[in-house]
Structure 1
């Protein structure tokens, strides 16, 4: 059963049988912007980017995004860049193999940025979701469209709790074209 996330909400990353999730996927979807004009309508392509920034305490140590598709340790993988928003469902995905994440990594931020600078008030049908990749079950969904005058969003953070992981929805609007532009904001959100 999927949870529609709201800012600050926490979600346990355990399966219903109590076992820990092992492979989670952040899916990001959106549609091109439809512009209506005097002579009809046309579509403007939108380039949103899903990213995962890995932290050891307060320090960023690795990232998976459109220009670095795999974390150095191989535990986080970006499945490829979609620069248009065309297609149904998830346009970009990030896979996190939780048991493979090195022990010194205690936080992974999941972010969305608009490389061309479109704001979420301009983008249609934008969403992020977290999926248990072992069975395809959607665990949580966050709607991005709807009035944010920002070009980036810190969707959530995965936080290590002993041997397991939890997730906290953040939903904080930010400015930046890439995940690396968001590092100061992410450092502030580590303890939030």
Structure 2
């Protein structure tokens, strides 16, 4: 059974036996405008509701908050291949995950203790123009969804620090963050992300 996390809530993954490979999936849709007038119907996407190019990324930190690596659409592999990005989805069309970041927990070096996941609007559209945005952590062994977090907060922001996957004493936990931020790439969100390392 999937656990829906609230903003700020953490989930220990210690009960997940044999947890070694997971992925963080991000899904979203473009908000569709209310088409009430003649010009709205004629103009369609020009009146709003076009494609939204959100980008999922992850920054890997050590125990001192130093960034060890960043995986995003311009660098699809990191940490010696332990982290892999599925590639850039520029529209959000379709059901399910639009971008996926896979993590081989067993292959991460011991000094990689925190993975902070972010999402940003590369084209600069705000989260007022995004619907159905959510991230979910999935155990790749059996494709079992462990938890999900709905990014429901609307606003003029262009980025969100989504969640953190953290290791302490050999045990992993997932924390839903949901801090709004601004930026077109993960580099712009690095200062906000380090607070959760």
C-alpha offsets along residues 42-72 of structure 1, whole Å, 9 cap, x if unaligned?
A: 3411000111100112111101110000004
Query: Which runs of 5 or more residues in structure 2 are unaligned?
Result: none
2:194 aligns with 187
C-alpha offsets along residues 13-69 of structure 1, whole Å, 9 cap, x if unaligned?
A: 2345xx242111111111133243633133411000111100112111101110000
Please tell me whether Structure 1 or Structure 2 has the larger radius of gyration of its CA atoms: 2
Please tell me whether the aligned partners of residues 31 and 46 of structure 1 are also in contact (alpha carbons under 8 angstroms). Answer: yes
State which of 106, 111, 117 in structure 1 corresponds to 2:118: 111
Cα displacement (A) at 1:147: 1.6
CA RMSD of aligned residues (A): 1.6
1:27 aligns with 25
TM-score (norm 1): 0.91
C-alpha offsets along residues 60-96 of structure 1, whole Å, 9 cap, x if unaligned?
A: 1101110000004111110111001112111100001
C-alpha offsets along residues 106-160 of structure 1, whole Å, 9 cap, x if unaligned?
A: 1110111111112222112111111111111111111123423311111111111
Please tell me whether the aligned partners of residues 20 and 164 of structure 1 are also in contact (alpha carbons under 8 angstroms). Answer: no
The change in CA–CA distance for 1:90 and 1:63 in structure 2 (over 3 A counts) is: same
1:134 aligns with 141
In the comparison of the two structures, how many residue pairs are matched?
A: 188
- After TM superposition, the runs of 4+ consecutive aligned structure 1 residues lying more than 6 A away are none
Please tell me whether the aligned partners of residues 49 and 112 of structure 1 are also in contact (alpha carbons under 8 angstroms). Answer: yes
Query: Which runs of 5 or more residues in structure 1 are unaligned?
Result: none
TM-score (norm 2): 0.89
1:38 aligns with 38
1:151 aligns with 158
Structure 1 range deviating more: 52-61 or 36-45: 36-45
State which of 57, 69, 72 in structure 2 corresponds to 1:65: 72
CA distance in 1, matches of 2:38, 2:154: 25
Q: Secondary structure at the match of 1:73?
A: helix
Please tell me whether the aligned partners of residues 33 and 45 of structure 1 are also in contact (alpha carbons under 8 angstroms). Answer: no
Q: Whose strand proportion is higher, 1 or 2?
A: 1
CA distance in 2, matches of 1:69, 1:169: 23
Q: Does 1:88 align with 2:86?
A: no
